[in-house]
Structures are given as structure tokens and as C-alpha cells.
Amino acid sequence: MHNKILNIYNLLYDFFGPQNWWPGETPFEVMVGAVLTQNTNWNNVTAALENLKQDNLLALETLSALPVHLLAEKIRPAGYFNLKAKRLKNLLTQIQNHGGSLESFFAADKETLRERLLEVKGIGPETADSILLYAADQASFVVDAYTHRVLYRHHLIPEEVGYLDIQELFTSSLPEDPVLFNEYHALFVRLGKEYCKKSTPRCSGCPLEKI
């Protein structure tokens, strides 16, 4: 196949079907979830988000008004709760400093918005790209541990490779389409969870078996 990256996408899509990502009702919820899910199982994140929803705290104004130590208690199930409470507060401050509303913060062009997200202590490349793609609807490809593991096990990348190098592999092989990027990353997570676990080096029935 000429374009392996596109070939893999088609195999995954045919196998799993559409994933309907990101699980979240509003861009704000998606953004908060992106921080909470850092190195953490999504099940734990949903419990934390539910705590916030129950107290009507899952909005820019209400969350900004909540003291950081109370925020930490609300998001306890997500793990690293003290750290993540600070990270969320850092992000809210950055939004206040660049527009004040989530809409105006997201209104910046992709490169500018990515830089502003990366300025926040606690937001690295994956979280920034997740927010760009799934909350702000900008075509920024998300690379995560699953993406790396799947590509490495299929000998498409070396083990030691940087985030931007993997991202470039996708952006240079695909049309710059947020809908496509959205689906592709979601499919990688689905594949990783079911067929490419860290503890299961070989997996049978993997849709990429013949790659």
C-alpha cells in the first residue's frame, strides 16, 4: 500500500466503525476531561466529571469561582487531584487572560491557540492537541501512548521518537480534516484498549495483524 497511514485508518474504521468522540456534552467539559485524563483511566475521569456536574461546577464561571482545594476534592477520583486542580486553575487563568470566554479563547488560529495552551503549566502536547481537536474543533492530530505503542509494535516508528515526529507522520499522510483526525485518534484508543495492551505484546484478532 502506498499510504500506510491511510490504509491503517481504513482498516480500523471498517473494523470498529465510528467512535463518536469525544465523550462530553460541551466544549468546556471536553477541555476539563482532557486535563483529568492525563495518565489516568477514563472511568476515573467520568466519576470526577460527575462530581462537578452535580454541583453545577462544569462551566467556566462556576469553576473559576471555586477555590483550588475544593476543586481538588471534587476531582479526587481522577487521581493526581491536587496536581490536576492546579493545572485546571492555570488553564482557567490563561483563558481569562486571552479572551475571557471559552469562545473567544478558542477563536484564535490553531498555531496561536496551541502555543497559548502549551504556556499553561500542566498542559503538554497531547493535552493541547486534545483540546484543540475535540473542544475547539481544530485539525490538530493527537498522539498518545496507544498511538506510539501500536505504531512501534508494527515497526512503523522506532521506540525512541518524539511527539512531533509521530504527529508529522500523520499530518504529512492525511488531508487536514478535523473530522478525520477526530475519528482516527479515537480508533487508535479503541484498538489500544482492546488489542494492544501493554501487558499483552501479542494479540490475536487484531485488525492490523497483516500490516
Partner DNA sequence: CACCAGGCAAGTA
Partner DNA sequence: TACTTGCATGGT
The correct pick among 13, 15, 16, 42 for binding DNA (CB under 7 A) is: 42
Site residues for DNA, window 153-182 (CB under 7 A)?
A: none
Q: Which of 7, 64, 82, 173 binds DNA (CB under 7 A)?
A: 82
Q: Which is nearer to DNA, 61 or 67 (CB)?
A: 67
Q: Compute the distance between CA of residue 92 and CA of residue 88 in angstroms, rounded to an integer.
A: 6
Q: Which is nearer to DNA, 1 or 121 (CB)?
A: 121
Per-residue contact track with DNA, 52 to 81, x per CB under 7 A?
------------------------xx-xxx
Q: Work out whether 121 is an interface residue with DNA (CB under 7 A).
A: yes
Query: Shortest approach of DNA to residue 106 CB, angstroms?
Result: 17
Q: What residue ranges bind DNA (CB under 7 A)?
A: 21-23, 33-34, 37-44, 47, 76-77, 79-84, 118, 120-128, 130, 134, 144-146, 189, 192-193, 197-199
